[in-house]
Structure 1
Amino acid sequence: MGKLFLPARVPNEGARRLAAWLQSVPPVRAIRAMGNAGIDAAKVDRLIAGELIPGADERWAIACATGHAVYVRDWSVAACGRWGDPVPARMRRRAA
């Protein structure tokens, strides 16, 4: 994906979690996953900067592409930390 240029203020939890996920996976995987979700590098930059908020279909595509590291609702929630702060892992529920 290249370098991420992060704004001074974190716009929302979705942007924070997406940036953290992008930094935690190999670049080839990130490019492939975002491409499969229909999101190019320029759009990723705008999502992280807070210039764009993804629509419902894009939110779902991002959630699936990131293995649910970014939830659909994260884009509507204020950031729970700053850039570089640890992002808590998501707990998956087991089927009973």
Structure 2
Amino acid sequence: MKRLFLPAQVPNEGARRLAAWLQSVPAVRAIRAMGNAGIDAAKVDRLITGELIPGADERMAITRATGDAVLMRDWTIAALGRWGDPVPARTMRRAA
């Protein structure tokens, strides 16, 4: 993707995790994954700034595109850190 311009305050955990994921993967992979999810670079910017909150279908597409790095519920909770703070990796629970 292109360079991210982050607002002073993190709008929600989804934005924080999406920004961290975008910075952790190769640009080609990020562009392809977001494109497959139907999200272009302009929309990514709006999601990260908090100007736009994705709908349920887009949340699911982002969850799939990021390999569960950004979950559906992340968009509705307050940020658990600031920009640049470490984002803990997701661990999936095993079925009982």
**TM-score category of the 2 structures, normalised to the smaller one:** over 0.9
In the alignment, which residue of structure 1 is the partner of 2:71? 71
Which whole-Å deviations, capped at 9, do the CAs of 1:23-72 have from their partners, x for residues lacking one? 00000000000000000000000000000000000000000000000000
- Kindly report the root-mean-square deviation, in angstroms, between the aligned alpha carbons of the 2 structures: 0.6
Superposition deviation, residue 92 in structure 1: 1.2
1:58 matches 2:58: yes
Provide the C-alpha distance between the structure 2 equivalents of 1:89 and 1:40, rounded to a whole number of angstroms.
Answer: 25
Detail structure 1 runs of 4+ shifted over 6 Å in the superposition.
Answer: none
Partner of 2:80: 80
Q: Unpaired segments of 5 or more residues in structure 2?
A: none
Q: TM-score when scaled to structure 2?
A: 0.98
One-letter amino acid of the counterpart of residue 43, structure 1? K
Q: CA–CA distance in 1 between the matches of 2:41 and 2:82?
A: 22
How does 1:1-96 map onto structure 2 within 5 Å? 1-96=1-96
TM-score under structure 1 length normalisation: 0.98
Matched residues, number: 96
Partner of 2:78, secondary structure, is coil
Q: Which runs of 5 or more residues in structure 1 are unaligned?
A: none
Separation in 2, partners of 1:52, 1:95:
34
